[in-house]
Structure 1
Amino acid sequence: MYAQQQLAYAPSPYSYTPSSTLTATINLDEEVKLADNAAERDLYESLAEIYSIIITLDALEKAYLRDSIKESEYTETCDRLLRQYKSNLADETVAAAFGNLESFKLEWDLEVPKATERLKIGLPATVESAPTSHRPTSTASTNGTASTNHASAAHLVTASENFITLFDAIRMNMLSKDTLHPILVEIIQAVNKVTDRDFENKGKIVQWLITLNQMRAAEELSGEQARELQFDLNAAYDGFKGTLG
């Protein structure tokens, strides 16, 4: 006669008796330990520090792009964050738990595109490309060339020596990341002191920095990669010399 009213929940049988095994036995006033030993605690602290570095680096990159920070302050802070990031990941246990940057970002729901790009390159933006505050003053000329002709002989010699050092390392089959990456960094820094122009094939040096930066310290380039690096380096060296004419 009357429509049965639908319940808003699923009723339990009248005979149901709660099981004592479901009763909480945890002391809610007791501190919960995330780590069982000192090694685990150190691991979690390192991962937390990496997380903090990534977040800070992303904010720093955005501040730099907005001109909200001086180039000198940006360079110093960025370099310190990158070194701290690498230092934490130098520990094999931390590196294994970290995985890689993309998996870490996915696990912790991180949206940090600026930090991602900077970590891939492994250099502050002011080192990757010549900082404007340190660029030489241009002088007028008939062919429109910048003031690279006024670069000091010392900087020219240093840049050339760095290129030659890397050529020698490849020829001697010294192909590990911890050998090649520092030399590439020195090349970028040296050429930026000579010219503020993005010479032909300079981008290839940056791409190799990214490739090496994603490798482990003792990991080595394959024979094919070594030949490609030598070819790209020759092209970049020719492009660099072309800016000096």
Structure 2
Amino acid sequence: MEPVKLYESPRERRKFDDLGDLYALIKTTEKLEKAYARDAIVPEDYERACLRLISQFKTSESALLRDGTITSTDEFMREYKMDCPRARERLLRIGVPATILHQSAGNADAADSAVRVAECVQHFITAMDALKLEQRAVDEVQPLVSDLVNSLSRVPNARVETGREKLADWLVHTFPESEPVQLNAMRAAEEISDDQARQLLFDLDAAYSEFHRSLRSNDDGGSRSPHKQ
């Protein structure tokens, strides 16, 4: 019996290599999610691995969509009978690790707490400045919102549940308005509208004010809360 050749040119070989990479990323994410659910991996290792897989998946998916190799990841998974519900949820709907959306800040000493507060303030300022400078592309806006939500979850004793949930909604929920937004489900080259940017900026400012008030109420003479800029 002669072996079946999947490709007859370097271009076709590259195509199947790229499809194999996408398949492997989805399968690996499914196994990682199962391991996390079973408490077989510590949260820090899970988050680090998950962030890397999400980034690699987005890069691979974008390239395959752009050159027409696949029409959608959902269709790809159906064609190859991939039973990976956890990976589909993480990669296609949510787009951030479970630890980012459901993480408590835990214990931290005063020095570490001050560092986390400073980092969070910087994420707020960076995101708001980007929108004021009219950055609208998803690959510009989504990482800023994702980093901010992650950073907020790491600040001890910061009571910003309302603001944090609002910002997380921009990542994983489809809004009911006429122009639905779900940054993690949008393609990198897509852009949010000026109205959406204005609403996001409003939500960022509201979350920042809540964050600022929370730090002031918790201030007992240790690390001082940042001045709003």
1:203 partner letter: E
TM-score (norm 1): 0.71
Partner of 1:228: 199
CA distance in 2: counterparts of 1:123 and 1:64, whole angstroms: 14
1:122 aligns with 2:109: no
1:173 partner letter: E
Residue ranges of structure 1 left out of the alignment (5+ in a row)? 1-28, 138-146
1:39 aligns with 2:11: yes
Equivalent in 164, 169, 174 of residue 207 of structure 1: 169
1:88 partner letter: S
Residue ranges of structure 2 left out of the alignment (5+ in a row)? 173-181, 218-229
Partner of 1:144: none
1:161 partner letter: Q
Whether the 8 Å CA contact 1:43–1:94 is kept in 2: the answer is no
CA distance in 1: counterparts of 2:210 and 2:43, whole angstroms: 27
CA distance in 1: counterparts of 2:34 and 2:160, whole angstroms: 23
Whether the 8 Å CA contact 1:181–1:212 is kept in 2: the answer is yes
Q: CA deviation at 1:66?
A: 1.5
CA distance in 2: counterparts of 1:163 and 1:233, whole angstroms: 7
Alpha-carbon spacing, 1:110–1:235, altered in 2? closer, same or farther (3 Å): farther
1:189 aligns with 2:150: yes
Aligned length: 205
Whether the 8 Å CA contact 1:202–1:239 is kept in 2: the answer is no
Partner of 1:135: 106
| Percent pairwise identity | 35
Larger radius of gyration: 1
CA distance in 2: counterparts of 1:104 and 1:235, whole angstroms: 40
Deviation by residue 1:59-91 (Cα, 9 ceiling, x = unmatched):
211221121122232223222322221232242
